[in-house]
Structure 1
Amino acid sequence: MTYCVGLRLDAGLVLLSDTRTNAGIDNVSVYRKMFTFEVPGERAIVLMTAGNLSVTQTVLAKLKHKISRSDASPTDSILLAESMLQVAEIVGRTLNEVSLEINQKMGAMNQMATASMLLAGQRKGGALRLFLIYREGNFIEATPDTPYLQIGEHKYGKPILDRVVTPETSLEDGRKAVLLSMDSTLRSNLSVGMPLDLAMIKTDEFRICCNERIEPGDPSFTAMSDAWSQALRDSFAEVP
C-alpha cells in the first residue's frame, strides 16, 4: 500500500510520500511515488501516486513521453499547459486511459487495477493548486476549509492534520505536521514504509525549494517521532 499527503498553505505546498510497495508479505519493494517537474521561475509540479504499480508507472512514462516530444502542445504536455487546471486534466485523462486499457486486459481474470494521484504545483500567473485525481480522470481540489489531501492509507495520519493544519500554518510547521502524520501511519500500518520523499514549493517562487529523501534511522525524524510519542504520553497522563 502507500501513504501520500499534500498541504496547500498560504506560504506554499508541502508534499510527503512513503516508498513501500508490496504484493504480499514476502514481496516487499521500494519504489519512488513522488515525481517532480519544473521550469524554474515559470512552473513547479509534484505528482504523487498510490495504487497499482503498473498503472502508475505507465501513466508516468506516458506523461514523460509527451513532455519529450518535439511536437508537444499545451493540451498534452504538463510543462506546456496553460494552467494547473489544465495539468490536472492532462494527468486525469492519461490516468483514465491507462486504467481502462489495463483493466480490459485484466477483465478475463476478474481482477481490477486501481490507482489515484495527488497533483500539486503552481504556474506563473496562477495560484497554488492541489488536486486529488481518481482513476476515472475526475478530481477534487484542496480548499481553505480542508487545506490538505491524502491518498493511500490515510486514516492513521488524518487526526493530526484535522487538528493542526490551517491555511495560515507556516511551511516549517506544515513540514512537521506531514512528518508526524506519516509517523502515525508507519506505526500503525506495515504496508507503509521508509524511506520517505519530501518536497516543498514556496508561494510565487515557481520552483521546488526542498526535495529530500529521509532514510530509515534518520536522526532528525527519529527524534521528532520520539518527542511526539512522549508528548502524547504526557498529555494522556494529564487528562482528568
Structure 2
Amino acid sequence: MTYCVGMMLDAGLVLMSDTRTNAGVDKISVFRKMFSWHVPDERSIVMMTAGNLATTQSVISQLEERGKVPDDRHPTILEAQTMFQVATEVGRMLRRVVEQPGEFPEPGDGPQAEGARFTASIILAGQIKGMEPRLFLIYPEGNFIEASFDSPFFQIGETKYGRPILLRGYDRAMPFEDAVKLLMVSFDSTLAANLSVGLPFDLMVLARDRMEPIHQRRIVADDPYFRTISRGWGDALRRAFQSLPAYDLATGGAAEAVTTGSELK
C-alpha cells in the first residue's frame, strides 16, 4: 500500500508521497513514488504512483523511452502541448501496461499469481507555460478526472485515515507553508493507523508560473519538524477531546457543568 496526495492551491501545487512497498510483513522495501520532469521556463510535470510496483515502474520507464541512451531520452510528455494531452498519454500507457503486464516486465513487490490484475493509479500534476496549473487523477482503466473547486485535492493508496484532516483544514487560499503542515498531519494520521504506509516521505512544492520546484525534500524518520508536528497533533487532539462536554448517562445528553459559588459572582 502507499499514500500520496496532490493538492491544488491558488498559489500552485503541493505534492507528497510515502515510499513504502510491501508484499507481506516480512517483505517491506523503500521505493520512490514521486517522479518529475522539468524544462526551465517551459513546463513542470510531476507524477505520483500507487498500486502494483511492477506496473508503475513499467509506466514510468515507457514514458521515459528507456530504449534510448540516457543523453537521447526525451519523454513524449515533454512534447505534449497541454497538460490534458499529458494526462491522455499517461492514461493510455497505464491502461496498456495493466492490460498486458507481461509485455513490460519489471521488478515488483513479489511474485504475482497467474491472472492477477496489475492495477495502479496515478496523480499527475504540473503546468505548461502560458497555461494554468492542473491536477489529474488517472485510473487503471486509463480514464481520468481533473481537480476543481469542488474536488481540489486527490489521494491515492491508503486514503481513509488522512482524509478527514484534509477535508476540515483545506483552504484553497492558504499559503504553501500551511498546506505543507496540513499534509504533514494527514500523513502522520495515516502512518499511525496503517503499517503499510511509512517514512521517508517525498515533498514537492510547485509555485504558479515558476516551471520548477520552489521546494523539494525528503522527510526522514528523525526529521525535527515532522516529529514536532506528530507530537503536537497528538497533544492537540487530546486537549480538544477533553474540552468537549462530558456525556451524561442519566439524560443521554451533555452533563451540566458544576458551578461554584465564586463563578456566580
Q: TM-score under structure 1 normalisation?
A: 0.93
1:39-54 matches, within 5 Å, as 39-54=39-54
Give the C-alpha shift of residue 217 in structure 1: 1.5
How far apart are the structure 2 equivalents of 1:92 and 1:67? 20
Amino acid in structure 2 at the alignment position of 1:201: L
Give the C-alpha shift of residue 219 in structure 1: 1.1
Give the C-alpha shift of residue 214 in structure 1: 0.6
Structure 1 stretches of 4+ with a deviation exceeding 3 A read 66-72, 103-108
2:31 aligned residue: 31
Q: Relative to structure 1, is the Cα distance of residues 108 and 168 closer, same or farther in structure 2, using a 3 angstrom cutoff?
A: closer
Cα deviation digits, residues 169-191 of structure 1 (max 9, x gap): 21111111111100000000000
Asked if structure 1 preserves the Cα contact closer than 8 Å seen for 2:64 and 2:73, the reply is no
Kindly indicate whether residue 162 of structure 2 is the aligned counterpart of residue 163 of structure 1. Answer: no
Amino acid in structure 2 at the alignment position of 1:199: M
How far apart are the structure 1 equivalents of 2:235 and 2:190? 17
Give the C-alpha shift of residue 113 in structure 1: 1.1
Q: 1:124 aligns with which of 129, 132, 136?
A: 129
Q: Relative to structure 1, is the Cα distance of residues 42 and 113 closer, same or farther in structure 2, using a 3 angstrom cutoff?
A: same
Greater shift in the superposed pair: 16-25 or 138-147: 138-147
2:151 aligned residue: 146
Q: Secondary structure at the match of 2:64?
A: helix
Asked if structure 1 preserves the Cα contact closer than 8 Å seen for 2:65 and 2:73, the reply is no
1:205 aligned residue: 210
Q: Relative to structure 1, is the Cα distance of residues 32 and 107 closer, same or farther in structure 2, using a 3 angstrom cutoff?
A: closer
2:83 aligned residue: 84
RMSD: 2.1
Asked if structure 2 preserves the Cα contact closer than 8 Å seen for 1:45 and 1:121, the reply is yes
Give the C-alpha shift of residue 64 in structure 1: 0.8
Cα deviation digits, residues 63-84 of structure 1 (max 9, x gap): 1117969696xxx711111011
1:99 aligned residue: 98
Asked if structure 2 preserves the Cα contact closer than 8 Å seen for 1:133 and 1:139, the reply is yes
Q: Secondary structure at the match of 2:202?
A: strand
Q: Secondary structure at the match of 2:13?
A: strand
How far apart are the structure 1 equivalents of 2:102 and 2:16? 29
Q: Which has the larger radius of gyration?
A: 2
Give the C-alpha shift of residue 204 in structure 1: 1.2
How far apart are the structure 1 equivalents of 2:244 and 2:112? 54
How far apart are the structure 1 equivalents of 2:54 and 2:141? 16
1:194 aligned residue: 199
Q: Which has the higher contact order (CA 8 A, sep 6+)?
A: 1
Q: TM-score under structure 2 normalisation?
A: 0.85
Asked if structure 1 preserves the Cα contact closer than 8 Å seen for 2:97 and 2:103, the reply is no
Greater shift in the superposed pair: 192-201 or 98-107: 98-107
Cα deviation digits, residues 15-74 of structure 1 (max 9, x gap): 0000000001110000000011100211111100000000000000001117969696xx
Greater shift in the superposed pair: 86-95 or 100-109: 100-109
Give the C-alpha shift of residue 110 in structure 1: 3.3
Amino acid in structure 1 at the alignment position of 2:237: L
Q: Secondary structure at the match of 2:100?
A: helix
1:225 aligned residue: 230
Gaps of 5+ in 2: 105-110, 246-265
How far apart are the structure 1 equivalents of 2:240 and 2:169? 16
Task: Provide the identity percentage.
Answer: 51
Amino acid in structure 1 at the alignment position of 2:119: T
How far apart are the structure 2 equivalents of 1:127 and 1:103? 37
How far apart are the structure 2 equivalents of 1:195 and 1:68? 31
Give the C-alpha shift of residue 119 in structure 1: 0.4
Kindly indicate whether residue 19 of structure 2 is the aligned counterpart of residue 19 of structure 1. Answer: yes
Give the count of matched residue pairs.
Answer: 237
Asked if structure 2 preserves the Cα contact closer than 8 Å seen for 1:144 and 1:166, the reply is no
2:253 aligned residue: none
Amino acid in structure 2 at the alignment position of 1:149: F
